[in-house]
Structure 1
Amino acid sequence: MLQEVVATRYVTPLREGGSLPGIVEADDLGTYVMKFTGAGQGRKTLVAEVICGGLGRRLGLRVPELVTIQLDPVIGLGEPDQEVQELLKASGGLNLGMDYLPGSIGFDPLAYEMDAAEAGRVVWFDALINNVDRSWRNPNLLVWHGDPWLIDHGATMIWHHNWPGARASAAKPYDASDHVLASFGPDVAAAAAELAPRVTEELLTEIAAEVPDEWLVDEPGFDTTDALRRAHVETLLSRAVDIHERITLGARTTRPSSRAPGWLTEQARPWPHTAKKEPGAGDGSGDGVDGVKDGEK
């Protein structure tokens, strides 16, 4: 299970994304980038962070360590920003934290090199989880101590926003043409040979068990949280078998607008929202706009 800590001080908001994550200090003396249950993208963003972040770490990719963070809304009473106050008040209880990487900078493919093998592992992983938000426009890669770190996996597994259509959604190809690492000639075949055998039912079950029950309850079509966890496991397990055969690397697009899907852009509106509701089947709740430029480690 993920380590649970208690937030002791809210340091500062990170305003690069629609969910308004913030840097917090905790009772373990750690500093974390905190993502909130009360943010507009909803708790499914946190579910995606736990599953995909946990999977990435177990596959040997550099992903900041995750914790759950207990938040007492009273911590926001001293905040002068009304927007931050409202978010903290709406997020009492269990939230998600990612280890803060002090001094990290955003990855620029024009300034940094990456070999084809490592690029292939990242592209294959993003294809597996259907990450729509690691493009050259918004890399969601940080360079820390000279190494690239993968951050912000809230806009992944888009099928879990519409479980009735999950099988068809998960069977679709993955277009990596605009992936930030596409220019490094990613060797996805080698990555698949190395990583796919490691994506086992046992591994995915272990990772899914780390998602708190309270972020999984009341999902339409599922009687129990364990049944919902099982759906996550089965979808990723089937996708791992042949996703490398469905990765396309075409010409990079040049239009400046975001390629994020409508369900994401509609949800990534500024806080506060007029009404807070949990996303149900077919609703959009992906994050993916924060980046560890957001401060994540």
Structure 2
Amino acid sequence: MLTDVTATRYVTPMREGGSLPGLVEASDLTSYVMKFTGAGQGRKTLVAEVICGQLARRLGLRVPELVTLGLDPVIGLGEPDPQVQELLKASGGTNLGMRFLPRALGFDPLAYTVDAEEAGRVVWFDALVNNVDRSWRNPNLLVHGGDLWLIDHGATMIWHHNWRTAAAWTDRPYDATDHALAPFAPDVAAAAAALAPLVTGDLLAEAAADVPDVWLADEPGFESPDAVRRAYVELLAERAATIHDRVELPAGGPAGPAGTTGWVTRGEAR
């Protein structure tokens, strides 16, 4: 299960995200980006964050540590922004925290290059969970310590917004034509060969088990939180087997980056 900590101070809103996450300090003396159950996208956004984030970590991709963050809305009484106050009031109880990465920079494909192997792993993973929010317009990628980190998976697995039609997503293709890493010649076939065998029912069940019961309770059509978890496991397990055959990359194949991976020097950029 995720580590359970308590938010002790609301620091500032982070207005880059549509759900208005906030930077908070917690009882373990660590800073987290807090995502709220009271945000407009609802608790399923947090479920997606946990399942995808924990699965990515188990597959060797870099995702900041996730925790459950207990929130007493009283900590927002001193916040001058009425919108933030309302969000805090609506989010008492269990919320999600993502460890804050100080001095991390937003991914810029003109400044940082990614090798075909790593690009392929990210694209394959995004295809598995149907991530529609990793485009060049909004990469949801950070560069921290010289490495690429994945963040913000709330817009994945959109089938869980209508479980009655979810089975149809098993064979649905993934459009990666404007994926942030499409220009780096992602080797999706190699990624599938390495990662798909790892996506077992047991591995998926471990990731799903990290979702708090309170975010899965009372889901229409399911008798218990564990039944909802099994639905995620079954669909992702089926999708993992063949999704690499249905990844749509730019026609003609993307051009690979020049030079070595990592930061682009002025000489390499010319």
- 1:159 corresponds to which letter in structure 2? W
Mapped pair 1:35 → 2:35: yes
Q: CA deviation at 1:169?
A: 2.3
What residue number does 1:127 align with? 127
Answer yes or no: is 1:149 the counterpart of 2:149.
yes
Q: Determine the C-alpha separation between the residues in 1 that align with 2:47 and 2:171.
A: 21
Instruction: Write the letter of the residue equivalent to 1:16.
Output: E
Could you list the structure 1 runs, at least 4 aligned residues long, displaced by more than 4 angstroms after superposition: none
CA displacement at 1:251 relative to structure 2:
4.8
Structure 2: segments with no counterpart, 5+ residues = 253-270
| C-alpha contact (below 8 Å) 2:205/2:229 kept by paired residues | yes
Aligned position for 2:44: 44
Distance 1:163 1:169 in 2: 10
2:2 aligns with 2
Q: Could you give the per-residue CA deviations for residues 172-231 of structure 1, whole angstroms, max 9, x where no partner exists?
A: 100110000001100000000000000010111111111001100111111111111000
| 2:18 partner letter | G
Match of 2:102? Answer: 102
Q: Is the Cα–Cα contact under 8 Å of residues 159 and 170 in structure 1 kept in the other structure? A: no
AA in 1 matched with 2:137: R
State the alpha-carbon separation in 1 of the partners of residues 97 and 170 from structure 2.
Answer: 27
1:16 shift after superposition: 1.4
* Structure 2 Cα separation of the partners of residues 135 and 251 of structure 1: 16
What does residue 187 of structure 1 align with? 187
> Is residue 247 of structure 1 aligned with residue 247 of structure 2?
yes
Q: Are 2:182 and 2:250, in contact at CA under 8 Å, matched by a contact in 1?
A: no
| Shift in Å, 1:250 | 2.2
Q: Quote the residue 2:228 is aligned against.
A: 228
Query: 2:136 aligned with 1:136, yes or no?
Result: yes
Q: Deviations over 1:17-68 (max 9, x none)?
A: 2210000000100100000000000000000000000000000000000000
Partner of 1:77: 77
Mark the runs of 5 or more structure 1 residues left unpaired by the alignment.
253-297
Which AA in structure 2 matches 1:84?
V
CA distance in 2 between partners of 1:110 and 1:249 (Å): 19
Q: Which amino acid aligns with 1:24?
A: V
Higher relative contact order (CA 8 A, sep 6+): 1
Match for 1:160: what amino acid? H
**CA distances 1:232-267 after superposition (whole Å, capped 9, x unpaired):** 000100000000001011259xxxxxxxxxxxxxxx
Secondary structure of the residue aligned to 1:142 is strand
Q: 1: distance between equivalents of 2:217 and 2:171?
A: 26
Q: Does 1:210 align with 2:210?
A: yes
Matching of residue 63 in structure 1 with residue 63 in structure 2: yes
Q: Distance in 2 between matches of 1:19 and 1:231?
A: 26
Q: Which residue of 1 aligns with 2:111?
A: 111
Alpha-carbon shift at residue 145 of structure 1 (Å): 1.1
Secondary structure at the counterpart of residue 9 of structure 1:
strand
Q: Distance in 2 between matches of 1:169 and 1:235?
A: 8
Which SS does the other structure have where 1:98 is aligned? strand
Task: Count residues with an aligned counterpart.
Answer: 252
After TM superposition, give the deviation of residue 110 of structure 1 in Å: 1.4
